[in-house]
Amino acid sequence: MANSPSGNGMDAQDLVRGRSSPLGATVFRGGVNFSVFSRDATSVELLLFDRVDDARPSRTVTLDPKRNRSYHYWHAFIPGIGPGQLYGYRVAGPSDPARGLRFDPEKLLIDPYGRAVVVPPGYSRQAAAGPGDNATSAMKSVVADPRGYDWEGDSPLKRPFSRTVIYELHVAGFTRDPSSGVPADKRGTYAGLVEKIPYLQELGVTAIELLPVFQFDSHDAPPGFVNYWGYSPISFFAPHAAYSSRTDPLGPIDEFRDMVKALHRAGIEVILDVVFNHTAEGNNRGPTLCYRGLANNFYYMLEPDGATYANYSGCGNTFNANNPIVRRLILDSLHHWVAEMHVDGFRFDLASILSRDEQGRPLENPPLLWDIETDPALAGIKLIAEAWDAAGLYQVGSFIGDSWKEWNGKFRDDVRSFLRGDAGTISRFASRLLASPDIYGHEEREPEQSINFVTCHDGFTLNDLVSYNRKHNEANGEDNRDGCDDNRSWNCGAEGATDDPAIEALRNRQVKNFLALTLLSLGAPMLLMGDEVRRSQGGNNNAYCQDNEIGWFDWGLLERHADVHRFARLLIAARLKREIAVDDPELTLNQLILQARLEWHGVKASEPDWGDDSHSIALTARSLSGRVVFHLMVNAWWKPLEFQLPQLGKQSAGGWRRWLDTSLPSPADIVPLEEAPAVGDGTYGLPPRSIAVVFARAG
């Protein structure tokens, strides 16, 4: 159609007044159509800029309420401009907080549907929060045309969760340290990440989960600090400009797409950590950057007084996700990132907020979540929920839908507690090994509904989990009050770095124990960037504001902790390896365990100890044919234990073979399955704080 967004132009009437659909800035032949939602506005101005830090626009277009407004949508067609044009809005209307209205005609607003954003060198949150004109220091939207990029046949990979290993990483922190070896002009960028794809391939992970890459406000932090993690979004369509090595306004879009395409060629999926629960505009004292100045009472949940923001996010405001306007924006954002940016999935930060109605009450059937669940454009796309929020709503095991997977916070807590040696944890720990049937069993879903993790960006790294008894967040400038206090960590005998070889050996063993349990348990495993080389944050468990060595990947650790890296690499390879099951060569290790006959043991075969003082467990998994047997032994006690090995059938003539033992020095701690040495068939001695896996196969 000649007058569709993908066509050549507009009809005569639209050339005069523009169109309400599609929202945002859409490129046509001869110009650009702009459309924005604002029900209560009394006037809207579209401002065009030549440079990011211009104090005055090169052109101001005042929209006529009679000609340029359809229902609650303000629109205009501007001839003679195209991709790369900088723009923003000024919107007048009532300033009446008691009615939820906070219009400020002096503030420049970015477009909620803008595909790109530029940030001036002198950007100021303070100017956006105080009185007066802030055009010079305001972010600006950029007209973009998603067409024309050559994807070269690329599309989302849609790998099943049963064959997925997720690696959570920070785009900038992954390569910003000079030790990365990435050229200086690419460090901390999408292009820099591409340079490290061979490392990800060697490690063996199949998906990377990127901390937020939507354009966020890095100034949303205490004075003297930056918002490093990115959980402060301001645009749900634009890739974060500071992660691009390119200087042109549209560079971040194609650099992001280049990264996705390169990762897909390497067989690696891209999952985005998305923040739809709040924005960078904060509470009633925050800046007016976009939504507050367009339709505050639509975009945000408000308390009954109208003037106060509901704060289920813990970040000052809560996005009103189940309002129809906001629902449409979120769905359109997801469509954009799948259709135009080719991402493979999303992890939804504080996803339980998305189940609340406009008054904050949990909904039995939240419209937005069901919209996402049933959307044909999102079919086969990975959907992962952080199934809780900052106001106490906890939905692990009860999140809606058939396709949503969940971060299993109970896996993290119970595995930490058991390996620390806490009493009364044996039954919960055993359940975590088998994809938490006590949590998910009633739903009769696949085990990968549980995303198993011990560490993530929020909290201790794996090295720090075994090196500190308490958090050390002094560098954050809040007198160590920030960050979680319930870490379930154990320093193994000394707080922080130590030269004691015995303590260091114990820590190394505990790190391998955590890696083994994460990668051997049923469910979908997730690892944190750098845990495979014992990356440390010096005990900081809330490094959201540390864009420095605390939050960066130190690539020198790859040599220093080569044994841990090797251990993780061989574990991942074995988890994903096929041809393990003689009777079904298509099964991976975790699929074999899922279909196997399971038997629990203690130190004596067939006699598990489920008492509160139990710190050991063993599990046998026999394939249905009986031709493959794996036997896991876990000793979380502080003394050595002798485990009786189960008897093998006659067909397993080769006897038990040792695949993994975290108490042994590298390279004996783990070997390729085909190189596993034979062990005796009677008992297996396991030192304190150790895990071992032996197996037997027919023939």
Catalytically active residues are 349, 386
Residue with tokens 């841990």: 564
Q: Which run of H or E residues covers position 661?
A: strand 657-661
Burial (CB < 10 A; 0-12, 13-18, 19+), residue 197, is middle
DSSP letter at 403 equals S
CA dihedral of residues 516, 522, 528, 532 (deg, nearest 10)? 20
Distance CA 692, CA 577 (A): 19
Distance CA 599, CA 585 (A): 23
Q: Residue 18, Cβ neighbours under 10 Å: how many?
A: 27
Distance CA 490, CA 410 (A): 18
Residue with tokens 């096929």: 578
DSSP for 267-334 reads: T-EEEEEE--S--TT-STTS--SSHHHHHHHHHB-B-TTSSSB--SSSSS--B-TTSHHHHHHHHHHH
Exposure b/e, 353-362, CB count within 10 A at least 16 = b: bbbbebebee
Distance CA 249, CA 392 (A): 41
Q: Would the CA dihedral through 362, 365, 367, 368 be positive or negative? A: positive
β-strand 404-407 against 382-385: which pairing, if any? parallel
Task: Provide φ and ψ at 674, rounded to 5°.
Answer: -75, -10
Q: Is 60 left (phi over 0), alpha (psi -120 to 50) or beta?
A: beta
Identify the bridge partners of residue 641 per DSSP, sorted by sequence position. 686
Exposure b/e, 315-351, CB count within 10 A at least 16 = b: bbbbbbbbbebbbebbbbbbebbbebbbbbbbbbbbb
Task: With CA atoms as reference, report the closest residue to 418 among 448, 451, 454, 387.
Answer: 454
- Residue 619: which residues within 8 A CB-CB, separation 6 or more? 430, 433, 598, 599, 600, 601, 631, 632
Q: Are 451 and 166 in contact (CB under 8 A)?
A: yes
- Per-residue H/E/C for 56-122: CCCEEEECCCCCCEECCEEEEEEECCCCCCEEEEEEECCEEHHHCEECCCCCCECCCCCCEEECCCC
Contacts for 183-189: CB closer than 8 Å, 24+ residues apart: 185/245, 186/245, 188/243, 189/243, 189/244, 189/245, 189/255
- Residue 80: which residues within 8 A CB-CB, separation 6 or more? 30, 31
